[in-house]
A = this chain, B = another copy of it.
Amino acid sequence: MSSSTSQKVRVAVAGASGYAGGELLRLIAAHPYLDLTVTTSEKSAGSRVSSIFPHLAGIVDLTFEALAPEALPDRADVMLLALPHTKSFDAVATCLKAGKQVVDLSADYRLREAASYPAWYQATHPYPDLLRQAVYGLPELHRAAIQRTKLVASPGCYPTAGILQFAPLAAERLIDLRSIVIDAKSGVSGAGRSPALPYHFPEAHESLEPYKIGQHRHIPEIEQELGLLAQRGTASSGPVTVTFTPHLVPMNRGILSTGYAKLTRDLDQAALRDLYATFYKGERFVRLQEGDKAANPRHVRGSNFCDLSVHLDRRTGSVVTVAALDNLVKGAAGQAIQALNIMLGYPEETGLLSAGLFP
Contacts and interface: CB of A to CB of B under 8 A. Distances in A.
Interface of A: 1-2, 19, 22, 26, 29-30, 50-51, 53-60, 178-179, 181, 183, 185, 187-189, 193-197, 199-211, 213-214, 241-243, 245, 247, 249-254, 256, 258, 260, 262, 284, 287, 289-290, 293-303, 305, 307, 311-316, 318, 320, 322, 324, 353-359
19 contacts: A19-B202, A59-B353, A60-B355, A178-B316, A188-B205, A199-B201, A200-B200, A201-B205, A202-B359, A207-B251, A207-B297, A207-B298, A213-B294, A213-B313, A241-B316, A245-B260, A247-B256, A250-B250, A354-B354
A245 B313 CA distance: 10
A223 to B, nearest CB: 10
Nearest to A297: B208
A311 B199 CA distance: 23
A302 B299 contact: no
A154 B290 CA distance: 36
Which 3 residue pairs spanning A and B have beta carbons closest together? A214-B313, A202-B359, A183-B183
A293 B358 contact: no
Given A258-B245, A311-B213, A55 B355 contact: yes
A115 B177 CA distance: 36
Contacts of A56: 355
A294 B209 contact: yes
A298 B357 CA distance: 14
Contacts of A207: 251, 296-298
Contacts of A287: 57-58
Given A19-B359, A26-B355, A200-B193, A254 B208 contact: yes
Contacts of A241: 315-316
Nearest to A318: B243
Given A185-B249, A205-B250, A302-B357, 8 more contacts: A54-B296, A183-B183, A188-B202, A193-B197, A205-B252, A209-B296, A214-B313, A214-B316
Contacts of A194: 200
B284 A260 contact: no
Contacts of A199: 195, 200-202
Contact of A359 (B213, B214, B252, B305): B252
A251 B358 contact: no
Given A57-B287, A202-B252, A247-B258, A30 B183 contact: no
A201 B179 CA distance: 35
A22 B356 CA distance: 11
B260 A181 contact: yes
Contacts of A58: 284, 287, 305
A120 to B, nearest CB: 11
A265 to B, nearest CB: 17
Contacts of A256: 208, 210, 247
B202 A311 contact: no
A200 B205 contact: no
